[in-house]
Amino acid sequence: MAANLANIAGSRANPSTLLPLELIDKCIGSRIHAILRSNKEIVGTLLGFDDYVNMVLDDVREYETTAEGRRVNKLERILLNGSNIVMLVPGGEGPEGAAA
């Protein structure tokens, strides 16, 4: 994950000097993993976002954890409300990538 963050951060020597919205802006066009307040995780290609971190994602996989197990839904394009996001992982592959 640190290597992904360094690549996305670009040529700056210290990626921690980036402001949060600057980092998200550098993620446009790449995959991003969003962990939500509910038992859901979203992985998709970031097309755009606003100051409230509402995001438009393309080629989306929604992972939902239930008592029966994990359910995966594939969606073409979504608008994700930023108030539902707990954590963003630039370049993240989601739960399937973490298991590998």
Q: Does CATH number 3.40.1390.10 belong to domain 2-92?
A: no
Residue with tokens 């210290």: 14
- For the cut 50, the answer to whether the pLDDT of residue 79 exceeds it is yes
The confidence band for 8, taking pLDDT boundaries of 50, 70 and 90, is low
| Interatomic CA distance for residues 15 and 7, integer angstroms | 9
Q: How confident is the model at residue 7 (pLDDT cuts 50, 70, 90)?
A: low
Count of CB atoms situated within 10 Å of the CB of 31: 20
Are 62 and 36 a contacting pair, CB within 8 Å? Answer: no
- How far, in Å, CA of 15 to CA of 70, rounded? 34
